[in-house]
Structure 1
Amino acid sequence: MDARESMDYKSFYERVGARNGWDFSSVKAIAEGVAWDYAKVVQSRCKASDTLLDIGTGGGELLLRIADAAGQLVGIDHAAGMVETARRNAEREKRQNVRFMQIDAEDALPFPDASFDVVCCRHAPFRADESGRVLKPGGVLVTQQVGEGDKRNLAQAFGRGRSEATTGSLMRKYAAELNAAGFVDVQCFQYDADEYYATAEDLIFLLKHAPIIPGFGERDEDFAVLERFVADNRSDKGIRTNSERSLIIANKKL
């Protein structure tokens, strides 16, 4: 069962957004085998005069990081808490070319046709047809999604949270939808990297702020399970798990 189907995902997402967005900068972790840097991939597709739409912007952390890559950037998210956090972050960084709006990307987007040069989306659902509509001819869409096998040893240890879908299923679904929506040169990539968390506290922060183990901490046995997991997966590099990601880059035909 997919983690989003076994928990109230939107309620969880609102709580995280009101607390801190998706800012995991305090978590100490390293990864080996990462095949790309998503922010750099998006930046490389931008020109200084471009307009960019970031779908599922969360607390705006990534959009603010790449704000110099484009002329105007818009981040949208369905969660009010996320948008409030993103606006606070933008105000703190004094960014004048970035704005955030509460919009559910699974509905029709409230933007005119051909409004953006670049559409990006990280770890959030999006509609291929609407993304294509708001892109200018020759524009590009970049999306990174979490793979079905992400954090597989954690899901096995807790006995919940693991997707039953075959690895790459979501990537292939989105690629097919993009092709059907008229995108061209749809390129797909995947990696499955080793990930090491420095301490149990870093791992607990991740589990409390990301939808990996549904309802983590709500069951009496969760911390005993975590203690065994840490003991079984500790190494010189840290506490081992994995990070599985997919990347799609697609162009709107001229």
Structure 2
Amino acid sequence: MAHDYETRVEEALRAGLTGWDFSWLKGRVDGEGPSWDYERLARARLSHARSLLDIDTGGGEFLASLAPLPPACAATENWAPNLPLARQRLSPLGVEVHRASGLDLPSGPFDLILNRHGLLDAVGIRAALAPGGRLLTQQVGSRNQLELNEAVCIPSPADPDGWTLDVAVRALEGAGLRVTTAREEMGSYTFRDIGAVVFQLRAIPWQFPGFEPSAHEPALRRLDRHIGSAGGFTVHDHRFLIEARA
């Protein structure tokens, strides 16, 4: 079947968006990913924790993959469509899932707080950590995939320097935490077809607010032609990793 522009866009619009499941993009994108392995780091720290909080757990996919989990385990999620998914996945593992934003955390105290691409409230995290407790977070920085905003003519919603490693470290140290690891990278991420671009624009609406393919069709068609001639469109993922102790 011929995969022209309309077909690929329609495929991307039909694709489901649940939890943090980006499996639809498999084979349509290539990404280096950061040099660190967040999952491996999280697993290593779980062995020393008796209580755990996972902030902005999405559909609970990542946290469930870390099982077995500590005896006392909680997670937060504030997006209504994700809540039943997270509870269905995590409740059998003994995880209490709270409807809460990253600004309204369970009181704890927790030996370990994980935060993978969630809201990072330094003061709230400091209050929720047990003495000597540890935060491990991987964040999406404000310079993330800005080339895509430019290509599709969607203004970036934030100051490119508004959320960087330095900004986050200052906030955590200002809240009384001791930062022990701080790393930041810009990794290449290549879209191989226009459907992958449309899916990404739908999947992270905070970066592409109000996205509708019909409203951006001329820019999307130009990008489709570029991908066809160049074999892909490369952007850069802005990621940073922080570990901190109470």
Same fold by TM (over 0.5)?
yes
What do residues 123-170 of structure 1 show as CA deviations (whole Å, max 9, x unaligned)?
Answer: 222321221222122211012221222112111112324255344744
* Aligned match of 2:93: 96
Distance in 1, Cα, partners of 2:93 & 2:48 = 14
Distance in 1, Cα, partners of 2:159 & 2:17 = 31
1:226 equivalent in alignment to 2:220 = yes
Q: Give the conservation status (yes or no) of the 8 Å contact 2:69–2:93.
A: no
* Runs of 4+ that moved beyond 3 A: 69-72, 166-170, 233-239
Q: Give the conservation status (yes or no) of the 8 Å contact 1:147–1:245.
A: yes
* Aligned match of 1:6: none
Distance in 2, Cα, partners of 1:251 & 1:234 = 48
Q: Give the conservation status (yes or no) of the 8 Å contact 2:117–2:138.
A: yes
* Aligned match of 1:23: 21
What do residues 201-233 of structure 1 show as CA deviations (whole Å, max 9, x unaligned)?
Answer: 222222112123221116x34133122123324
TM-score between both structures, scaled by the size of structure 1: 0.78
- Extract unaligned runs of 5+ from structure 2: 1-15
Query: Cα gap change, 1:241/1:133 in structure 2, threshold over 3 Å: closer, same or farther?
Result: same
**Match 2:140 to one of 141, 146, 151:** 146
Query: Cα gap change, 1:169/1:134 in structure 2, threshold over 3 Å: closer, same or farther?
Result: closer
* Aligned match of 1:110: 106
Return the letter of the residue paired with 1:20. Answer: T
2:222 aligned counterpart, secondary structure: helix
Distance in 1, Cα, partners of 2:113 & 2:86 = 18
Identity of aligned residues (%): 29
Deviation at 1:236, TM superposition (A): 7.3
- Extract unaligned runs of 5+ from structure 1: 1-17
TM-score between both structures, scaled by the size of structure 2: 0.81
Aligned residues: 228
Q: Give the conservation status (yes or no) of the 8 Å contact 1:154–1:229.
A: no
Query: Cα gap change, 1:79/1:164 in structure 2, threshold over 3 Å: closer, same or farther?
Result: closer
